[in-house]
Amino acid sequence: MTVNGNPRLRIFLESQWLIYYEIRLQNVNFAFLVKRSGQMRRNRAIFFTVVLIFCGQTLASEYREKGYQYLSPVPGAEYVSPQTKFFLVRFEAISPEDLTNLPTFIEVAGAASGSHPGQTKIATDDRTVIFEVSSGFSNDELVTVTLTPIVNPSVEPYQYQFMVSGPMPGSLQAPASKLPQAPATISAAPEQVVNTQATPDTEWQALPTADMAMMAEDAVSAAAADGPMIMPNGVSVPSDFPEVVITVNDNPAPGYIFIDYSGSPTNYAMILDNSGAPVWYKRGSTARDFKVQMNGIITWTNFSGYDQNFNYLRSFHAVNGYSTDDHELQVLEDGRYLLFGLRSETVDMSRYVVGGKVNATVIETVLQEFTAADELIFQWRAWDNHDIRLMEYWSYDDKPTSQSIRFVHMNSVYVDTDGHLLVSSKRVSEVTKINRYTGEVIWRLGSGHPTDPSQDPYLDQRLTILNDPLGQFNVQHDIRVVGENRYTVFDNHHLDTMPNSRAVEYEVDPNARTATMVWEYYGGYDSYHMGNAQRLPNGNTLINWVLTNAPKVTEVRPDGTKAFEMNWAAMDSKSYRVFRFPWTGVVEVPNLIVESYADNITLIFNKFGDPDVDYYRIYGGTSSPPTTLLDTSTETLKRLYTGLENGTNYFRVTAVDIHGTESAPSDVKSGYVNFATIPGQNMVKNGDFSAGQDPWTFEVDVSASAEWNIEAGVSHFDIANGGTQMSDVQLFQAGMQLVQGKEYIFEFDAWSATQPRLIEAKVGRNESPWTDYSKIGPLQITPNHIHYSHFFTMEDPYDFNARVEFNLGISTFDVYLDNVSLREDIPESEGVTIVLVSDAADPLTPGGDHEDDELVTWLQSLDYTVDTIGMNQNMQGDWSGNAAIQTAVAAADLILVSRRTNSGNYNYDALWNTNLAKPLILQSGYLDREERWGWNTINDDGDATPITQQSMDVVAAGHPFLKSLSGSSIQIFDWDDPNSTPNHTGLNQAPGSIYLSQSLDPGATLIGTFNGRAMLYEMAAGTVLASGDGTLGGRRVFFVNWSYDVADADYRWDDYLTDDYKTILHNIIKEVLGLIPGDFDFDGCVEFDDLAVLVGEWPEEGSGLKADLDGNGKVDFNDFAIFAENYMKSCP
């Protein structure tokens, strides 16, 4: 055993690893790492701990000396992918064409998996030999590669090893770079490497641009989509197209803006002009890194490539067990391409850092280069070239002690003017220049140890940064070449506490090993990830600040003044990278989008980039592909109101040019047509299950067991096993039509068999991502038969195939469902005037407040107009003689009487009974006003004792006044006022009896009682209330005797208005008003009188039309349909 020369000092951790000895044993290099004991160090004695590791540096030097220029995997590599398929060899001085044993000179064997035969070929770069094995390797196995080339001049045989999915045997340190040190002078890449970036981005100054927009406006301009519309440049956009706001537009550089939008509800890739209008877009496409490549093709996320006309060409993928990382793809002029790959490995990080997880997941990044023929010719791995421990200082979330570590998060790659490669690695805050032919590091810009350079394993490769007020960049996202030895970086600079994100430019002196900051621009944002800076041909710099609230484009001149700035109006989307490029394409077929609405199908179609379109032909039908010509259009948007059958319709569009030539058709798109759906109409079919189970769908997951039966018109779900999720037992019906901004009411009856349990009831999307529109959440049901009502606003643009869904899994308690409905909610209170007649001020506040103030406020909150002219009036004395009150009553839609009297006689005046033909609600009682809402027990002394927490027994639960209330008994009050002294004069109540105001009158319909006394009831129209009093007009009349929840002696309406009371009173108001679509004369019945109104207004347009039942501003056939649906409703 011979020790080679002098020791080399390399300090990895302070006072830990100290001396590094190289040893040569049988053509394999090893090393001793010497560790000083702390105690012995103080005694100046040395205690040696010997660790056997492979020495990559020496191995690399050795294979270079033997005539090999590049090997992959590199000798001594660790954590190599078991799916490694391609072994790469390059020679220093010979051509692989000169090998006489090309098919057999590479042999690969795994210690566990054995020999791996394969195929050997020379790549189309004429430099790289590729050995492709046919099978993978085992985890944690040592693999031996043997090279025995026969060639003249000779190249020595060479054998080396690497480790699959683990560290090399005996290694206890983080892997240092296994490549040679950077040479003193740097030569350009060999001639076979095309210099693709001699003059960055300037080539496209000479390219023609299709209708390229150049604007020099001082005013703010914006492009908006308020529903589907045609933009100023003639391109039509759908309803969810994002609005763009431009705040600066001052002679920006030429070129279109290539940008991605990932907000709600739909992603877009788009090309915009300088007015913010699109010249091309693709809906539903995630478009990270959307750009024109150096060879003219267009690529974006998942790296599909298209020509300038957006015809698909090909896709790009990583190999060797790596998934494709979508951070960057660079396609070069000759068709070669560079991309990143990702691979996860379980690593014992305690080998490298104190506190490291023994089972950490390390997500390694690799750079791979391919020929235009998709041959892998270069691979540069993080494990081979970075020290994972440096992430402790330069990563804000991926620490070496984390459970999951992104190592080193390579996020951009570019080709330098000399043909070599530049890679940005976010998690170590470094830009690395790599010899593209050998893989060696030429220099490193940024990173290192932040306080002690002696602990930087790559100190001799690192440039010194000068003139940078921030010291250096950190967690950067973008590296670009802007001239010889000049580079821009988008510096996220998130490790600082200040928002210092910037675009920064450095000039490198390779001889002096320095990088001098020569330009920077701050935006005032903390863009913690993503972003980019693009130097434009006119010298401006386009910057994307990424964040939702930050501009997606800030174009600045060299002096820092802005030429252009824009963002999304809603500030609801980030953008990964944004560029300016020319676009010269013309798509071959129109792009078609279909949107369904309640009264039309809207088609949005564009043959992007084509100035010669004369008109479009629209084909449709109920089968695909449609062949019937429905219409033509000279514009790019068409609304179809007629000629379509209800159900799914299919459409496609062609473009006819000025020469009469018709293009190939667009893709077939479908839309759901149901023009019969009207506001207030139940969209759920067979919601009462009277027709059996159709058209409902019942699904039970394999983990559950349940049966569904209809019993006496009620759905019964017999659940033996509820599975593990609510959705494991599911009932649903699709076809619901929802429009953005509309309000809907979702109602159903639900109860359980024996015990309370949870269910889910929702209205949502009928496909992934299964958006929940109604947002009800889990609902507890009980054995009590309860009717549920839920109002919600549709926040998404539209969905004309939404579903009503009930999820009944997990629990094994049976469920019952009935009376399911989903309707567009019609605002009942709009335009309704209520005259509130109150015959006294509050007796507890002498000379002061109206007792009904809270009632008025509540009614107004429901958008009713409340005329309080009758408040604080003595009805008996003032009613007949007060012309103002009589006029208000005559003009009212509803009279709400809040009486103070201990008499049941309403016959104050002929006006009250004979002439009053308005809807009437009487809130009344025998008791004085302040005790009106309470029930009392009369004691032996004639005083009242409060009864607390009582309930009303619901006699007739089917009445609409009680919908939304729960149970057959309703809690009504908690009245406890020991100071009350009710006036019982004339009541003649026996001691110990319980009484309720107003006994049930003949002919009334009893709805609720308490102890056998009437509490809520309805008088028939024309009923004689009492002998000699006459009838109460021609309308239905309700008596409401209610209660309140009060803790003091001030019995105001804020006490009376319990939730139950408000629900019942509001329901009665709506019922009394006859708010039924088509009841134009408000008599509670849809009949011929109402038809006369509808016919008299048809066809008319405008606002305030009585017969405009669907609210579309005109009276048309839809309104006739609504009338017909409700004809004879609530009529005798």
Give the pLDDT band (50/70/90) at residue 1071: low
CATH number of this structure's domain 1076-1132: 1.10.1330.10
Do residues 603 and 627 lie in contact, with contact meaning Cβ atoms separated by under 8 Å? no
Say how far apart CA 1054 and CA 782 lie, in whole Å.
31
pLDDT at position 411 over 60:
yes
Residue 1039 token pair: 């008596």
> 684 or 1018: whose pLDDT is higher?
684
Q: Is 1 exposed, middle or buried (0-12, 13-18, 19+ CB in 10 A)?
A: exposed
Give the pLDDT confidence score for residue 393 in this predicted structure: 83
Angle 656-659-660 from CA coordinates, rounded to 5°: 45
What value does the mean pLDDT take over residues 784-793?
A: 88
What type of residue sits at position 758?
Answer: L
Tens of pLDDT, residue by residue over 522-531, are 999 888 899 9
**Domain 174-182+193-201+318-522 and domain 591-673 have a common topology:** no
- Name 1124's Cβ contacts closer than 8 Å, sequence gap at least 6: none
Strand, helix or coil for residue 427: helix
Domain 591-673 indexed as CATH 2.60.40.10: yes
Q: Which residues are paired to 1013 by β-bridges?
A: 1010
- As to burial, measured by CB atoms within 10 angstroms (0-12 exposed, 13-18 middle, 19+ buried), residue 1022 is middle
Percent of the residues in the chain that have a pLDDT greater than 70, as a whole number: 68
- Select the more confidently predicted residue: 768 or 654: 654
pLDDT at 417: 97
Fold for the domain defined by 174-182+193-201+318-522:
Lipocalin (2.40.128)
pLDDT, tens digit (0-9, with 9 covering 90-100), for 203-259: 333 333 333 333 333 333 334 445 799 999 999 999 999 999 999 999 999 999 999
Average pLDDT over residues 606-611: 98
The burial class, CB within 10 Å (0-12 / 13-18 / 19+), for 737 is buried
The beta strands (E) that lie in 569-625 are given as 579-581, 591-596, 601-606, 613-621
Cis before 117 (ω within 30): no
Supply the DSSP symbol for 534: E
The band of 23, judged by pLDDT with boundaries at 50, 70 and 90, is very low
What does the DSSP 8-state code read for residue 86? Answer: E
pLDDT digits (tens, 9 = 90+) for 433-462: 999 999 999 999 998 888 888 889 999 999
Q: Specify whether the CB–CB gap between 407 and 363 falls below 8 A.
A: yes
Look at 345-354, 681-690, 939-948 and tell me which has the smallest mean pLDDT.
939-948
In the structure, what pLDDT confidence band is assigned to residue 860 with cuts at 50, 70 and 90?
A: confident
pLDDT above 90 for 913: no
Strand, helix or coil for residue 299: strand
1060 secondary structure, DSSP code: H
Within its chain, how far is the Cα of 2 from the centroid? 65
Question: Residue 628: pLDDT above 90?
Answer: yes
Domain boundaries in the chain?
A: 2-163, 174-182+193-201+318-522, 213-316+530-585, 591-673, 697-824, 833-1073, 1076-1132
Least confident range of 127-141, 390-404, 619-633, 831-845: 831-845
Residue showing tokens 């100054």: 205
Burial of 759 (0-12, 13-18, 19+ CB in 10 A): buried
How does pLDDT run across 173-187, given as a tens digit for each residue? 544 433 334 333 444
- 697-824 is a CATH 2.60.120.260 domain: yes
Most confident of 201-210, 817-826, 1105-1114: 817-826
Give residue 398's pLDDT: 81
DSSP-based three-state secondary structure for 1012: coil
- Cα→Cα distances 736→385, 512, 673, 1131, Å: 58, 71, 11, 29
pLDDT score at 270: 96
DSSP one-letter code for 368? E
- CA 68, CA 75: separation in Å to the nearest integer? 12
Alpha-carbon distance of 93 to 823, in angstroms, equals: 80
Question: How far apart are the C-alpha atoms of 767 and 789, rounded to whole Å?
Answer: 25
Count of positions (residues) in the chain? 1132
The whole-number pLDDT of residue 841 equals: 43
Average pLDDT over residues 686-712: 93
SS (H, E, C) 553-568: EEEECCCCCEEEEEEE
Q: Output the six-digit token pair for 1064.
A: 């019942």
Question: Does the pLDDT of residue 369 top 80, yes or no?
Answer: yes
Q: Left (φ > 0), alpha (ψ -120 to 50) or beta: where does 792 sit?
A: beta
One-letter amino acid at 470 equals L
Q: Which two tokens stand for residue 268?
A: 């877009």
pTM score over 0.85: no
The arithmetic mean of pLDDT across residues 63-90, rounded, is 97
Q: For residue 397, name the pLDDT band (cuts at 50, 70, 90).
A: confident
User: How far is residue 320's CA from residue 368's CA, in Å, rounded to a whole number?
Assistant: 10
Beta bridge partners of 28: 25
> Are the C-beta atoms of 474 and 490 separated by less than 8 Å?
no
**pLDDT recorded at residue 39:** 38
- Token code pair at residue 873: 């009036």
The answer, yes or no, to whether residue 1110 has pLDDT greater than 80, is no
Of 118-132, 207-221, 818-832, where does mean pLDDT reach its minimum? 207-221
Cis peptide bond N-terminal to 228, omega within 30: no
Quote the mean pLDDT of the chain. Answer: 77
Average pLDDT rounded to a whole number, residues 779-798:
87
pLDDT surpasses 70 at 839:
no
H or E element at residue 633: strand 628-633
Topology annotation, domain 2-163: Immunoglobulin-like (2.60.40)
Answer whether 525's CB lies under 8 Å from 550's CB: yes
Strands (E), 1022-1104: 1037-1040, 1045-1046
Confidence bin at 1058 (pLDDT 50/70/90): low
Q: Cβ(633)–Cβ(236) under 8 Å?
A: no
- Which whole number is the average pLDDT over 843-861? 59
pLDDT digits (tens, 9 = 90+) for 299-323: 998 899 999 999 999 999 999 999 9
Q: How remote is the C-alpha of 558 from its chain's centroid?
A: 37
The CA distance from 525 to 551, in Å, is 10
Per-residue confidence (pLDDT) for residue 386, from 0 to 100: 95
Give whole-number Cα distances, 361 to 79, 80, 109, 367, in Å. 12, 15, 27, 20
In the three-class reduction of DSSP (H, G, I as helix; E, B as strand; rest coil), residue 734 is classed as: strand
**3-class secondary structure, 457:** coil
How does pLDDT run across 473-518, given as a tens digit for each residue?
A: 999 999 999 999 999 999 998 887 778 899 999 999 999 999 999 9
pLDDT interval class at 643 (50, 70, 90): confident
Instruction: For residue 970, give the 3-state DSSP assignment.
Output: strand
Q: How many CB atoms lie within 10 A of CB 1127?
A: 15
Of 546 and 83, which is predicted with more confidence?
Answer: 83
Residue 243 dihedral angles phi and psi, to the nearest 5°:
-80, 135
Contacts with 326 (C-beta within 8 Å, 6 or more apart), sequence order: 288, 289, 301, 302, 303
Report phi then psi at 1090, rounded to 5: -75, -35
| Fold (topology level) of 833-1073 | Rossmann fold (3.40.50)
Helix axes 1088-1096, 1117-1126, angle to 10 degrees: 170
DSSP states along 869-937: EETT--HHHHTTT-HHHHHHHHH-SEEEEE---S-----S-HIIIII--S-EEEE--SS-GGGTT--EE
pLDDT (average), residues 419-444: 96
> Token pair for residue 319?
């190999």
In 184-336, which ranges are E strands?
216-217, 221-223, 229-230, 236-237, 244-250, 256-261, 268-272, 278-283, 291-292, 298-300, 304-306, 312-315, 323-331
- Alpha helices (runs of H) in 331-376, residue ranges in sequence order: none
pLDDT value, residue 544: 95
Residues 6+ apart with CB under 8 A from 880: 908, 909, 911
Give tens-digit pLDDT for 536-585: 999 999 999 998 888 999 999 999 999 999 999 888 888 999 999 999 99
Read off the pLDDT of each residue in 1107-1116 and give the average, rounded to a whole number: 75
Q: Does the pLDDT at position 838 exceed 80?
A: no
Which of 215-229, 616-630, 690-704, 892-906 shows the lowest mean pLDDT across its residues?
Answer: 215-229
